[in-house]
Amino acid sequence: MQCLASYCEKHLQPHYDAAPLKKHKLAEPSKKLQENICSRHDEVMKIFCRTDQQSVCYLCTMDEHKDHETVPAAAERAEKQKQLLVSLQKLLQGIQDAEKDVKLLQQQVEAISLSADKTVEDSGKIFTELIRLIQKRSSDVKQQVRSQQEAEVSRVKEQKEELEQEITEMKRKAAELEQLSHTEDHNHFLHNYHSLSALSESTHSSSISIPPLRSFEDVTAAVSELRDKLQDILRQTWTDVSLTEVDVLLSGPEPQTRAGFLKYSRELTLDPNTANRRLILCEGDRKVTLMRNQQSYPSHPDRFSDLCCQVLSKESLTGCCYWEVEWRGRGVYVAVAYKNVSRAEKFGLNDESWSLDCYTNGYLFWHNNIKTVVSGPPSSRVGVYLDHRAGVLSFYSVSETMTLVHRVQTTFTQPLYAGLVLLWSGDTAEFCTVR
C-alpha cells in the first residue's frame, strides 16, 4: 500500500524491520503529497478521468465522474510518456538539422571570403599592368568587392546567429521535457504534461531558405577585358562594374530522396591509363581490385605512382551528377579530383582532391591534407552528389535509406573526375549501375 506520508530516517526504519510494514510501498519523498489526495473525499487519486482530463479517486468515479472514461493514472502516464518521448525526439532531430544548417551557413561565410580574396588578388595583378590613368579605377573595384563582401558576410552571419538562438531555445525546451519524463510523480507529470508538450510544437524545419550568394567573378572578367582592349576602353566612357547576383551556393535544392538523386545519376567507368600498377580493372572498367603484385602496364603520364593505389574515372564531371560506389573489404577512399591532380599523393592530401575514407567502423574526410572526423552509419555503398556550379559535394551512406555523412561547400575551378583508392590486397570497389 502507499501511505502518502513522509518519514524521517528514524521513523522510516520500522518499514524495513517490521514484517507487516515491509508490505508498504516506499517511494522517493515528494513535496507535493497533498496534490495526490482528493480534496473532496480525502482519498488517494489513483485514477485518471480522460473525459475531464484530471486525476480522481475511486469515490469520484461513483459520483460526479460516473460513466466517464477512466483509466489507472499509471496507465495514462505510460501513454503520455510515449507521446512525450516522440515530441522529445522531434526536438532533438530539429536541433541536429539546425546545427547542420549552421555549419552550411559558416561554409557560405568562408566561400564569400574566398571568392572576394581571389577577386581582389586577380584584379590587383591585372591593374598593375595598366598605366596611371586606370589606377583610380583599380581602387574603386577593390572597394566594391570589399564592400559587397562585408554586406554579404554580415547577412549570412545574421542568419547563423538566428539559427544558433533557435538551437539554444530548442535545447532549453528539450531539457524541460527530459526532466518531466523522469519524474516519479504521475499526477505531477499529468498536471504539467499539456503545458510542456506544447513546447515541442516549435521545431526547426530543415528546409531553410538561404538567399542567393553574390559572385565576384564578373569583376575579374571585366578587368581582364580592359587589359586586352586598353586603348579602345580609354577612349570610351567607363561603365560601372556591378556585382552580379547569382545562385552560387544553391543552384537548386539538393534532392531529399534516393529517387531524386537518381535523376542525376551518371554511368562512370575507370580510366586504365590512370590506374596504379597494383590495380586490375574488370567488368567493363567499372570494377577495380587491389592485387599483391604489380601488373605489366605500359608507362603513361597519367598513371599514379607506386605509392598511390588509386584510379580516376574516364568521364569528367560538371553540372549536377550522382553516382554510387559499392565496396568490399577493409576500406576504400571515395574521392573526386581535378585531372591534373598530383600522381604521387593520395587523394585528399592536396588542394586538388576531396576524399571520404570509408571503413567498416566509420568515416574520415580529407582535403588539402586536413583530416575531418565525420559520423554516419557504416555501409558498403556510398552515394556521391556533386553540384559543380554551386560548389556542393555531398557523401551519403546508402542502405535502405540515405544518410548524409559529409557535405562540402567550396568553389570548383575545373571539371572533376571520380576517384577510388584501395589499401588492402583483395579489396574491391566498383561504380554501380543505378536506375
pLDDT (tens digit per residue) in 261-303: 999 999 999 999 999 999 999 999 999 999 999 999 999 999 9
Q: pLDDT, tens digit, for every residue of 419-433?
A: 999 999 999 999 998
Residue 248 above 60 pLDDT?
A: no
Comparison of pLDDT for 49 and 120, the residue scoring more: 49
Give the pLDDT of residue 192: 82
**Model-level pTM?**
0.47
Give the pLDDT of residue 147: 86
40: domain CATH number is 3.30.160.60
Residue 110 above 90 pLDDT?
A: no
The domain of 42 spans 9-68
- Which of the listed residues 20, 40, 68 is the one where a domain comes to its end? 68
Q: What gap in Å lies between CA 4 and CA 164, rounded to an integer?
A: 45
Comparison of pLDDT for 433 and 208, the residue scoring more: 433
Cα atoms in the 13 Å half-sphere on the side-chain side of 167: 17
Give the pLDDT of residue 243: 46
C-beta neighbour count of 251 within 10 angstroms? 17
Percent of the chain with pLDDT strictly greater than 90 = 43
Give the pLDDT of residue 121: 82
Give the pLDDT of residue 149: 86
Comparison of pLDDT for 306 and 385, the residue scoring more: 385
Give the pLDDT of residue 244: 43
Give the pLDDT of residue 257: 86
Give the pLDDT of residue 213: 61
Residue 2 above 60 pLDDT?
A: no
* Residue 129 located in a structural domain: no
* Residue 167 located in a structural domain: no
400: domain CATH number is 2.60.120.920
* Residue 13 located in a structural domain: yes
Q: Which of 25-39, 157-171, 334-348, 393-407 has the lowest mean pLDDT?
A: 25-39
* Mean pLDDT value of segment 365-386: 94
Residue 391 above 60 pLDDT?
A: yes
- CA nearest to 179, candidates 198, 193, 164: 193
Give the pLDDT of residue 8: 61
C-beta neighbour count of 20 within 10 angstroms? 8
* Mean pLDDT value of segment 66-95: 90
* Residue 427 located in a structural domain: yes
Residue 4 above 60 pLDDT?
A: no
* Residue 168 located in a structural domain: no
* Mean pLDDT value of segment 38-61: 89
Q: Which of 83-87, 208-212, 235-239, 253-257 has the lowest mean pLDDT?
A: 235-239
Comparison of pLDDT for 149 and 8, the residue scoring more: 149
* Residue 254 located in a structural domain: no
Residue 238 above 70 pLDDT?
A: no
* Mean pLDDT value of segment 123-129: 73
Q: Which of 3-17, 87-101, 108-122, 339-353 has the lowest mean pLDDT?
A: 3-17
- Which of the listed residues 53, 68, 83 is the one where a domain comes to its end? 68
* Residue 280 located in a structural domain: yes
pLDDT band at 247 (very low <50, low <70, confident <90, very high): very low
What is the 3-state secondary structure of the chain? CCCCCCCCHHHHCHHHHCCHHHHCCCCCCCCCHHHHECCCCCCECCEEECCCCEEECCCHHHCCCCCCCEEEHHHHHHHHHHHHHHHHHHHHHHHHHHHHHHHHHHHHHHHHHHHHHHHHHHHHHHHCCCCHHHHHHHHHHHHHHHHHHHHHHHHHHHHHHHHHHHHHHHHHHHHHHHHHHCCCCHHHHHHHHHHHHHHHHCCCCCCCCCCCCECCHHHHHHHHHHHHCHHHHHCCCCCCCCCCECCCCCCCCCCCCHHHHHCCECCCCECHHHCCCCEEEECCCCEEEECCCCCCCCCCCCCCCCCCCEEEEEEEECCEEEEEEEEECCEEEEEEEECCCCCCCCCCCCCCEEEEEEECCEEEEEECCEEEEECCCCCCEEEEEEECCCCEEEEEEECCCEEEEEEEECCCCCCEEEEEEECCCCCEEEECCCC
Q: Which of 131-135, 225-229, 256-260 has the lowest mean pLDDT?
A: 131-135
Q: How many domains does the chain have?
A: 2
* Mean pLDDT value of segment 320-349: 95
- Which of the listed residues 50, 68, 86 is the one where a domain comes to its end? 68
Comparison of pLDDT for 386 and 221, the residue scoring more: 386
Residue for grid cell 553574390: 214
* Residue 238 located in a structural domain: no
* Mean pLDDT value of segment 55-83: 90
C-beta neighbour count of 121 within 10 angstroms? 11
Comparison of pLDDT for 243 and 58, the residue scoring more: 58
